Amino acid sequence: MACQIEQVKGIGVLPGHRISFVDHLVPLCQIMGIPLLCTDPWVFEAIGLYYPPMELILDEAPDFCLDQSLKEYNTLFYVTFSRQPHGSFQFLEYHSNKKLRSVYSLHGNSDKKRNIFWAERFADEDIVLLYGDHMIDFIKEKGVLDRIPHRIVTGNYRLEFYRQNKPFFDQFSFFPKDDRKTILYAPTWSSDNLRSAWKCDYSSFFEAHHALFSSIPEDYRLIVKLHPHLIYESADEIEKVKARYSDSDQLFFLGDIPPIFPILEHVDIYLGDYSSIGYDFLAFNRPLFFLNMSERDPESDKGVHLFRCGEVIDPNQLENVYQIIEGTDSSQFEKARKESYAYAFGEKSSDFTGLRQEVEAALQS
């Protein structure tokens, strides 16, 4: 049984070069008014540059043990499964032997990983933060919901964090802007092991990039945001693709920029596959298009629930992708976009004070 805490002294833990975790854990730590421990100098500097000021701690931990930096704290906050059944913590390659309370939050809302062992690990956690009914229904189907000791529904706290700090984020211009319409292409990542279970949600990038990059209409600009894991898995191949189109002024690759909503604010059209950024983009109720490389059925396959919110493009339609984008009346999906956003995140803005109070109450129970 977890111990009660009279006064919460929490800290966020962000291990390694996991840049995709940043935009989920930084807002949570700032909402809770707690510091964030990083182990990677680049991540440490990126947070200091791209987010409002907060207390940051850098511990490169040559022995991969974080106990020294965590000795003054009684609660850990993180966004990847870390709590072990025996009470210690495994933060990917880092670890801690301290037996503390913990708060786990998702790093994105998506339809991925429905058919593999993943959500079952919620049962090992202490306090779990869930965005809304979409994820609640998913873990209920997995038979895990009632096994979570404490669960708290947060709403879209990342969006509300962006809105409250918009003047800070507005100082950045993450990509060139002009009169052309902006399409954001944000493919997910996939393992290089094609027989892996991850193949069920694999990236469209390597099959689709030629059709997407070689025929961009004059009145469009294509912004490409690759998943950091995809870059890590296939760095050499991606560099060759980028070099091939380096002379194009219509194609722009975003670097390792953690904030998501300041980018989406300036995007007209979303193009993706299984990335959680698609769910983020629902907040703006703008057109979405999906590359359905596995030809899955949005009506029957819960693993592509988001595809109901936009036009679905099958592999045999890739050569006509821009004609499809230009010829689609996306207003027909407006109702589905609104309903899916409410299903994923709820209809009300996230209440920071209420969230802090719920977390503190759970820790004191």
The domain spans of the chain are: 10-155+350-363, 181-345
Burial 299-333 (b: 16+ CB within 10 A, else e): eeeebbbbbbbbbbbeeeebeebbeebeebebeeb
Distance between CA 38 and CA 21 in Å, rounded? 11
10-155+350-363 and 181-345 agree in CATH topology: yes
For residue 285, what are its two tokens? 């109720």
Give kind and range of the element (H or E) at residue 103.
strand 101-105
Q: Give Cα separations from 344 to 138, 154, 161, 320 (angstroms).
A: 11, 11, 17, 31
The per-residue pLDDT string of the chain (365 residues; one tens digit each, 9 = 90 and over) reads: 466 766 889 999 999 999 999 999 999 999 999 999 999 999 999 999 999 999 999 999 999 999 999 999 999 999 998 998 888 999 989 999 988 999 999 999 988 877 777 888 888 899 999 999 999 999 999 999 999 999 999 999 999 999 999 999 999 999 988 999 999 999 988 765 554 554 555 789 999 999 999 999 999 999 999 988 888 888 899 999 999 999 999 999 998 899 999 999 999 999 999 999 999 999 999 999 999 998 989 888 888 999 999 999 999 999 999 999 999 999 999 999 999 999 999 988 888 999 999 999 999 88
Q: What is the second-level CATH architecture of the domain 181-345?
A: 3-Layer(aba) Sandwich (3.40)
Q: Which fold has domain 10-155+350-363?
A: Rossmann fold (3.40.50)
Ordered DSSP codes for 27-64:
HHHHHHT--EEES-HHHHHHHHHHS----EEE---TTS
Distance between CA 307 and CA 191 in Å, rounded? 22
Q: Cβ–Cβ contacts within 10 Å for residue 139, how many?
A: 21
pTM, two decimals, is 0.94
123 Cβ neighbours under 8 A, 6+ residues apart: 144, 147, 148
Distance between CA 300 and CA 313 in Å, rounded? 17
